Amino acid sequence: MSDDREPYLVLTERLELRVVGPEDLDALHALNSDPAVWRHDPAGRHTRPGITKAWIERCADHWESDGLSYWMARHRDTGELIGVGGAQRHEPGFWNLYYRLAHAHWGKGYATEISRAAIHLAGQRDPELPVIAWILAHNTGSRAVAERLGLHDYGLRPEPGKSEPMHAYADRALPF
């Protein structure tokens, strides 16, 4: 896989979005083990590097099978790690819109910037699938991002693989 062509490397106004890879283990584990980053979902926090390594391997599998997954997001001017995000194909047939930002970068529009690129490329890869951002009811910041993106709240629904219902913000009516 080459980092020199879209979607493996995407440049937005302020960010460089590059495919997540094994070389990102330390930076991603630091991000995903930070309790402040997981304030809205403490159970999702990565407590061991092995959890992050498995997450990276799942991303690589999605890049291989679907041609799109999650990127590392770094500031274009400084190289500073902003976070991770993108779109990944999930069952029963949707693009999962995801981002996780370093706490210092919350509220600066980076989640919206990453998400716009992800929605655009998911639509190019498979326009038949809806793009869904699954968001906990109490996560008002992420709900505001979804609304800025023009996603519609289809209410609390069981997200595949989660125990509690989450708000399904999507770009179209959901078939399930």
β-strand 94-101 against 131-135: which pairing, if any?
parallel
The model's confidence at residue 2, banded by pLDDT at 50, 70 and 90, is very low
Instruction: Check residue 89 and give its pLDDT.
Output: 97
Lookup: tokens for 154: 């289809």
Question: How many domains, the chain?
Answer: 1
Contact 106, 123 (CB under 8 A): no
Residue 157 lies in a domain: yes
Residue 163 lies in a domain: yes
Residue 28 lies in a domain: yes
The model's confidence at residue 3, banded by pLDDT at 50, 70 and 90, is very low
Residue 175 lies in a domain: no
Residue-wise pLDDT tens digits, 11-39: 999 999 999 999 999 999 999 999 999 99
Residue 106 lies in a domain: yes
Contact 167, 135 (CB under 8 A): yes
Residue-wise pLDDT tens digits, 93-124: 999 999 999 999 999 999 999 999 999 999 99
The model's confidence at residue 6, banded by pLDDT at 50, 70 and 90, is low
Residue-wise pLDDT tens digits, 69-90: 999 999 999 999 999 999 999 9
* Mean pLDDT (whole number) for 116-137: 97
Run of H or E residues at 167: strand 166-170
The model's confidence at residue 164, banded by pLDDT at 50, 70 and 90, is confident
Residue 92 lies in a domain: yes
Residue 87 lies in a domain: yes
Q: What is the CATH number of the domain that holds 134?
A: 3.40.630.30
Task: Return contacts of 143-148, CB within 8 angstroms, 24+ apart.
Answer: 143/167, 143/169, 145/111, 145/112, 145/115, 148/112
Residue 4 lies in a domain: no
* Mean pLDDT (whole number) for 128-149: 97
What mean pLDDT, rounded, does the chain reach? 94
Closest C-alpha to 95, from 61, 64, 70: 70
* Token pair 């099978």: residue: 65
Q: In terms of residue numbers, what domain contains 134?
A: 9-170
Indicate whether 175 pLDDT > 90. no
